[in-house]
Amino acid sequence: MNFLSYLINGISLGSVYAIIALGYTMVYGIAKMLNFAHGDVIMIGCYVTFLAMSGQGIHPLAAVIISIVVCTLLGIAVEKIAYKPLRRATPLAVLITAIGVSYFLQNAALLLFGADTKSFSSVVTLPALKLADGALTISGTTIVTIAACIVIMVALMLFIKKTKAGQAMLAVSEDKDAAQLMGVNVNATISLTFAIGSGLAAIAGVLFCSAYPTLTPYTGSMPGIKAFTAAVFGGIGSIPGALIGGILLGIIEILGRAYISSQLSDAIVFAVLIVVLLVKPTGILGKQIHEKV
């Protein structure tokens, strides 16, 4: 029963990683760049939700929607201001810019919201689920997190397969220049990718802070790094890869902490990553999947 409980916690944590990893993997697939500011967009999303909920007394669901809108706009703005002028620059210049944006967002948050820790109240009011006479308790947040992850994945896959904009994303990820010749608006497609990725970051942030309820300007950095690892683990550029990578990472982290050592859980996660990359340098789903978005 304990094992089941650990497993569910792992899947829950992994679901958050998977949603964040989507942002990394989509942007990488389309723009071929690593958006290291992604973790900090999560943090901004959390602050917006927090302020809307506790400051203005807005209903949690409405607060989440406001946060998604703000993050989407922020994602588009960051892309337009910081990354678009560097479209033809070397990948390294773009990478450094992304790190710069990350620091900018952290310090802006430090200035705007202060460094004090805020306690984030969960947006999920669902009661905990008790199974097997209370031996197994699954919190409402866990259920919502896992459900949200599944819904987002399915919706995203459908979006890419069934809509014109989704097909345009696929085309840009395969060959930017050819897509442009076929009449795809590459710039608009890249902006759309950032918008979707950042909107998802807002959802991931709210779920993360609901489960682990503290909020500081550095809240986004560690989950950001872990989710990036998850994206690489699953095969960067692949959407199902992000899902698999995220959930595996969450499960390994929790089980490692439970059965091997609570101190070494991060070390175990990264050791597994190294082994996977040694055996399969492109990540778990790096090669089989041809549609890279």
Residues found near another protein in the complex (CB under 8 A): 2, 5-6, 9, 13, 50, 54, 81-82, 85, 100, 103-104, 107-108, 110-111, 114-122, 128, 130, 134, 137, 139, 141, 208, 211-214, 216, 222-223, 253-254, 257-258, 261-263, 265-266
Query: Minimum distance from CB of 128 to another protein (Å)?
Result: 6
Where do the DSSP E strands lie in 145-265? 214-215
CA 197 to chain centre: 8
| The Cα angle at residue 165 between residues 163 and 166, in degrees rounded to 5 | 65
Q: What's the rounded Cα separation, in Å, for the pair 139 and 199? A: 25
Of 62 and 178, nearer to another protein (C-beta) is: 62
Task: Output the six-digit token pair for 284.
Answer: 């778990």
Query: Minimum distance from CB of 5 to another protein (Å)?
Result: 6
Of 105 and 293, nearer to another protein (C-beta) is: 105
Question: What phi and psi, each to the nearest 5 degrees, are found at residue 163?
Answer: -105, 160
Of 26 and 46, nearer to another protein (C-beta) is: 46
Beta bridge partners of 137: 130
Of 159 and 218, nearer to another protein (C-beta) is: 218
Query: Minimum distance from CB of 81 to another protein (Å)?
Result: 5
Of 24 and 50, nearer to another protein (C-beta) is: 50
Contact between residue 205 and residue 67 where contact means Cβ atoms under 8 Å apart: yes
Query: Minimum distance from CB of 208 to another protein (Å)?
Result: 8
Cβ neighbours, 10 Å, residue 199? 23
